[in-house]
Structure 1
Amino acid sequence: MQTGQQTGHLKATLNAWHLWGLAVGLVISGEYFGWSYGWASAGTLGFLVTATVVAAMYTTFIFSFTELTTAIPNAGGPFAYASRAFGPVGGLIAGFATLIEFVFAPPAIAMAIGAYLQVQFPAASPKLMACGTYVVFMALNIVGVRTAATFELIVTVLAIFELLVFMGVVAPGFSVANFAAHGWAGQDSFSPLALSGMFAAIPFAIWFFLAIEGVAMAAEEAKDPRRTIPVAYIAGIVTLVLLAIGVMVFAGGVGDWRKLSNINDPLPQAMKTVVGENSGWLHMLVWIGLFGLVASFHGIILGYSRQMFALARAGFLPAWLAAIHPRFGTPHRAVLAGGVIGIAAIFSDELFSFGGQTLTANIVTMSVFGAIVMYIMSMLSLFALRKKEPGLARPFPAIGYPVFPAIALVLALLCLVAMVWYNLLLSLIFAGLMAAATVLFLVSGRERRAAARATALATEHAAHP
């Protein structure tokens, strides 16, 4: 690894436990908030169907995605796979879609952290607390990846424990009748309106699992990635599916779920219904529950910074974003750049509050647009590389190939079509961001050529020191 302000390679320090903690931690905030916005569109029963289909998409996707992450361990993740399969244009689409996903997810999580803290400190500003969260965890990410990943593992375990506590505490108040009441888009029985609501709720079902693919962006920093990454991914998706079903069912069955469908702190409010406002259980949920939000927030900062680093190292973004800190060996400028964008999004109420959706709901949907495009590009890359490079070493071939990758691809395409249909304005904004990335791509030819030469020289030097 080079030091100073030069670009180079990241140091491998993460073991399988770190990577499992990252896989679950990146996502686990999705169990604490965001998903309940789907109830507003689909109801509890309709959303359960949507979430089940999305869980199938993620399971087949992860069982396929591990082939790419182990065959091509690179901090760019999907950017690296699509570049190898389809050249610079493929890398452009996958890389910037991933960047949109990982840059827009943290401000939504930061706002949820602010909402959770406001339960304890009603006079405090959620936005200011969200900004303070950015400052703290950008600093932790800059200090070092092993420190960051160890912290991620600890808070992830605590967050899982807290979700289990939540389910145990509210279980006595659970009622199937409560969960099923008005469960089809506000109706007691299935109707065409319910089907429409199920499609509209897709982004919030995806939020349950969004960003698990971020482990791929830590591949350069993983010890023995061909062994540890598959273990982390498979154990991670199993953990998350079980938690998502449990949290959704128990929260929806303890009272009138409609009161939870447009807020950032559904679990504390659900628990209030069972234990009251002054219970120690409630305060414990708020404080320990913050670990779930922090785990995802912290992990996604790691993800966006590595994606930005990889894009800059390849010449798709300004080269100064690929600088590695001389002491900590982390892409500090990329960490800070993503934080500036996220903080700006927190204060963009007028820009992102439209279409009857809250600021948080729209930011979540924007992040999901990036994710879905990236999933599509990743599965296309898998099929293309099977044909283009049949001799590529694949330590962990896709399970169920070609059926599982095909299922993941078809379901991702279906999700994308539904999201565009129900979020036309946001899809146009997403397209505008991708168009801006294309313009940047066209004017950065010199940087890409320089980056390619630098990579070639580094490879030659490593082979013939």
Structure 2
Amino acid sequence: MATHADSPHGNPTGLKKTLGFWQLWGLAVGLVISGEYFGWSYGWASAGTLGFLIATGVVALMYTAFIFSFTELTAAIPRAGGPFAYTLRAFGPAAGFLAGLVTLIEFVFAPPAIALAIGAYVNVQFPALDAKLIAVSAYAVFMGLNLVGVSIAATFELIVTVLAVGELLIFMGVVAPSFSVTNLVTGGWAGQNTFSAGAIGGMLASLPFAIWFFLAIEGAAMAAEEVREPKRVIPRAYISGILTLVALAFGVMVFAGGSGDWRALSNINDPLPQAMKRVVGEGSVWLHLLVGIGLFGLIASFHGIILGYSRQFYALARAGFLPAGLARLHPRFQTPHWGILTGGVIGILAIFSDSFVKVAGQPVTATIVTLSVFGATGMYILSMLSLFRLRRTEPDLERPFRAPLYPALPAVALTLACGVMAALIWFNPQIFGLFVGLLALGMTYYAAVARPRLARTPSLNTAAD
């Protein structure tokens, strides 16, 4: 058990070290696995099945290079807050706060998209239930579970992640007899000629949904301070996690696309149940099994990302960048309860945002996914820059795991992340405007409140220690 350090506010802020390899693997995979169940199929609308396959291949390369590089930072600096702590140490407070802010955008806006998908999955079984009310109920249940402690939360995460992986394998097995290469390739460039300007544009436009396959795996770093033997466990959990997810992503995409007319799946929140429904029929036990167990995949990511954003709020507040109350731990459960609740309130507001906000004419789920991807991509860029900076400024820092093929592999991750960011901006200017607006609000708060507080009390900032 970790020793609890006292915060400047007189409250215990030490997080308990309770997580082992399988729990961290479950968290790394579980954070992401909902991306295999929904969200990605929106990419077919612009790129088609074949164009999206190429886009996903590029993104898979980016994530693989990123995780092998990011693991160096996580193992060397196992601090709650992850990218915030690394960038703070590498570039100082302003850049550190910016890294924390883009990470919050990623992790706070991913859960409402997942909650809406949970609502859509439940609605398949119970059409009379309102999907948004189901989404809000999911927030209430899983914020509560996160409140009672990380060990219980991580064990639950591991169980539902294993079930979700198993269900994806069952899905592939059930639809495999109906798989046809003709189905997969027909119109596979979304009506464009192979590698025409239109086809390439469609692939670039589909990048946010390819990223959704893998988005948030880095969130396991938020719990690094709660890992037993972090220098040994973190590299093993991260690397096995990304390999698991790459295999599942391509398997699900290919089998779903080849099971029938993929166009019917390209703009909905529940592509796997709908794909299975046309193969086995609406009354099949396999369909009900997919919907029932498939919910575990959504729940695993939803639950895990709540844990991630709460630790980001906690780390920023503990270091003096956000209000001190967000660093207070629950007196009984020693969890950052105010961080859990704050992200939940923002997420619930996002669920209902389509009632009064329309962005770029997209469904609200696609808009929220894209906004979250903007945050993630910004965080990837800052993390890789921090890796290069720390290699130069702190060559003697203990690094239990070193990025292989340095500097080539981190450079691949950085270059691809910058290219993805450029494509996101080009194809989503309105959502980019919203993203920039959120960053501007955050940096204004930093300049007006956080920076003066840090100047008055430098001891507040402990994240780079």
With the length of structure 2 as denominator, give the TM-score of the two structures.
0.96
Structure 1 residue 343: Cα displacement: 0.3
Matching residue within 117, 126, 139 for 2:122: 117
Deviation by residue 1:370-406 (Cα, 9 ceiling, x = unmatched) = 0000000000000000111111111101111101000
In 2: Cα distance, 1:176 partner to 1:170 partner: 13
Please show how residues 59-458 of structure 1 align to structure 2 within 5 Å: 59-187=64-192, 189-350=194-355, 352-443=357-448, 444-449=450-455, 452-454=458-460
For residue 52 of structure 2, the aligned residue among 31, 47, 52 is: 47
Q: Which amino acid aligns with 2:381?
A: I
Which whole-Å CA distance do the structure 2 matches of 1:450 and 1:77 have between them? 25
Which position in structure 2 is the counterpart of 1:32? 37
Q: What is the CA–CA distance in structure 1 between the aligned matches of 2:194 and 2:282, rounded to whole Å?
A: 33
- Give how far 1:76 is off: 1.2
Whole-angstrom distance in 1 between the partners of 2:456 and 2:309: 23
* SS state at 2:291 partner: helix
Distance 1:348 1:451 in 2: 38
Deviation at 1:451, TM superposition (A): 6.1
Task: Tell me, in whole angstroms, the C-alpha distance in 1 between the residues paired with 2:356 and 2:363.
Answer: 11
Provide the identity percentage: 66
- The answer as to whether partners of 2:115 and 2:302 remain within 8 angstroms in 1 is yes
Say if 1:113 and 1:451 are closer, same or farther in 2 by CA, change over 3 A: farther
- Secondary structure (helix, strand or coil) at the match of 2:333 reads coil
Q: Is residue 315–residue 450 contact of structure 1 (8 Å, CA) maintained in 2?
A: no
**Paired residue secondary structure (1:95):** helix
How many residue pairs end up in the alignment? 457
Given that 1:181 and 1:188 are in contact with CA atoms closer than 8 Å, whether structure 2 keeps it comes out as no
TM-aligned CA deviation for residue 189 of structure 1: 4.0
What stretches of structure 1 of length at least 5 have no aligned partner?
460-465
Q: One-letter code of the match for 1:198?
A: M
Give SS of 1:28's match. helix
2: CA distance between counterparts of 1:395 and 1:452?
29
Query: Secondary structure in 2 aligned to 1:251?
Result: helix
What is the match of residue 462 of structure 1? none
* Residue segments in structure 2 that go unaligned for 5+ positions in a row: none
Rounded to whole Å, the distance in 1 between the matches of 2:337 and 2:457 is: 19
CA RMSD after TM alignment: 1.4
